[in-house]
């Protein structure tokens, strides 16, 4: 099983704020926040930028709704 994290977790692990990522990707903070909440349909160009910025391989990112991911983790812990 491959270890996965959310985009928000990847950003925080790199010590970046939404503003930092917004400036580095030329996207507004609301856009970054939206894709952190639901990474199902992140545009390819933005995903490439985020993966490079966060230094995380594609296979370690959860591409879906963050609340589903957190719900899945709670079930596995119980």
For the stretch 2-20, pLDDT in tens is 789 999 999 999 999 999 9
Let me know: does 55 contact 14? Beta carbons within 8 Å. Answer: yes
pTM: predicted TM-score of the whole model, two decimal places: 0.84
Write down the CATH number for the domain with range 7-77: 1.10.260.40
- pLDDT score recorded for residue 73: 56
Determine the pLDDT at residue 75. 53
Q: What are phi and psi of 51, to 5 degrees?
A: -60, -40
Checking if the pLDDT of 76 tops 60, the result is no
The model's pLDDT over 25-66, given as tens digits with 9 standing for 90+, comes to 999 999 999 999 999 999 999 999 999 999 999 999 999 998
């Amino acid at each position: 099983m491959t270890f996965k994290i959310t985009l928000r977790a990847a950003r925080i692990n790199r010590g970046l704020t939404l503003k930092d990522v917004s400036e580095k990707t030329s996207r507004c903070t609301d856009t970054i926040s939206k894709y952190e909440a639901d990474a199902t349909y992140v545009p390819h160009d933005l995903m490439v930028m985020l993966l490079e910025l966060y230094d995380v391989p594609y296979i370690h990112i959860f591409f879906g709704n963050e609340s589903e991911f957190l719900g899945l983790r709670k079930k596995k812990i119980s």
